[in-house]
Amino acid sequence: MNSAEKAQLLRDCKGKSRISALTAYDYPMARLLDEVDIDVLLVGDSLGMVVLGFPDTTHVTMAHMLHHTAAVARAKPRALVLGDLPIHSYDSASQALDSAKQLIDAGADAVKLEGGIEQSDTVRGLRAASIEVIGHIGMLPQQVLEQGGYRKKGKTPAAAEQLIRDAQALEAAGVCAIVLESIVPDVARQITQAVGVSTIGIGCGETTCDGEVAVITDLLGSFPWFVPPFAQPEADLAEHIKSAAKAYRQRVCGA
Ligand code: KIV
């Protein structure tokens, strides 16, 4: 299936079936997640924190994103591979086009960028070049420094209305889905009802959107030093890794 067909599948999910999305940053994880039919593999710029050890996503560069997108794409997943445009790789529409083309050449089926109505022209430019785009509104991790931390969005009627307008503007510009991050549940539900494209939530309450995305290390419990309050781990890999390494050390060095 080509990228446009994968994006169309996402569009067709609206109102019919829910979308499962997880971050993947390397080849084995992409293969494993694809083998259990996860719909979207997001090569998120969260890799800056959970793979590269930066304090936030503002340190992530195009070189990082290309390296990891190519690794995920080598798994040749059936899932849609979604590459994040990192901070300052889409400061203008022409820069966005150049950066998005690089991610597509590295193997992404679609690109994701943060922001609402202000990104409409950029999204239109990408769509004009037949690049599939997913929007991202609500808490925008690339603006964490300006915003003074990770805070819930949509708390006032004015903020809620702005988020709805942002989502509608992104839909009109041609995105195939929109990530909603850390938006109060009732507002996330309203946005989901206000647009004809699928919404994919994180930190918005699990039934408020058309699908859900999680950071893989939150799901696996493999990055215990920062766990967002909304994370719902299904495993405790950190403990498994430490006990395997301890057993190995004892085998090699003695007790
Ligand atoms: O980079 C990422 O992992 C993301 C998710 C938080 C949606 O953008």
pLDDT on residue 149: 86
pLDDT in tens, 133-154: 999 999 999 999 998 888 999 9
Q: What whole-number distance in Å separates Cα of residue 167 and Cα of residue 152?
A: 17
Protein residue closest via CA to atom 1 of ligand 1: 44
User: Pairing state of beta strands 132-138 and 177-181?
Assistant: parallel
By the 10 Å C-beta count (0-12 exposed, 13-18 middle, 19+ buried), 143 is classed as middle
Please check whether residue 163 is in contact with residue 209, taking contact to mean a CB–CB distance below 8 angstroms.
Answer: no
Q: How does pLDDT run across 171-221, given as a tens digit for each residue?
A: 999 999 999 999 999 999 999 999 999 999 999 998 999 999 999 999 999
Quick check: helix, strand or coil at residue 9? helix
pLDDT at residue 206, as a whole number: 84
What is the three-class DSSP state of 36? coil
The verdict on the CB of residue 103 being under 6 Å from ligand 1 is no
Q: How far apart are CA 157 and CA 187, in angstroms?
A: 9
Helices (H), ranges, 131-236: 144-147, 157-173, 185-194, 216-220
What is the distance between the alpha carbons of residues 182 and 114, in angstroms, rounded to a whole number?
A: 13
- 47 burial level (CB within 10 Å; 0-12, 13-18, 19+): buried
pLDDT tens string 33-85: 999 999 999 999 999 999 999 999 999 999 999 999 999 999 999 999 999 99
CATH number 3.60.150.10 is the correct assignment for the domain at 3-214: no
% of the chain residues with pLDDT over 90: 97
Atom 2 (ligand 1) nearest CA: 44
Helix axes 62-73, 93-105, angle to 10 degrees: 30
DSSP 8-class letter at 19: E
Best of 39, 90, 179, 219 to mutate for ligand 1, by most ligand atoms within 8 A of CB? 179
CB 181 within 8 A of CB 202: yes
**pLDDT confidence tier of residue 127, bands split at 50, 70 and 90:** very high
Distance 80 CA to ligand 1 centre (A): 15
State both tokens at 76: 């040749």
Catalytic residue positions, numbered: 181
Maximum Cα interatomic distance, the chain, rounded to a whole number of Å: 64
10 lines ligand 1 (CB under 6 A): no
> Residue 148: what pLDDT?
84
pLDDT in the model for residue 221: 98
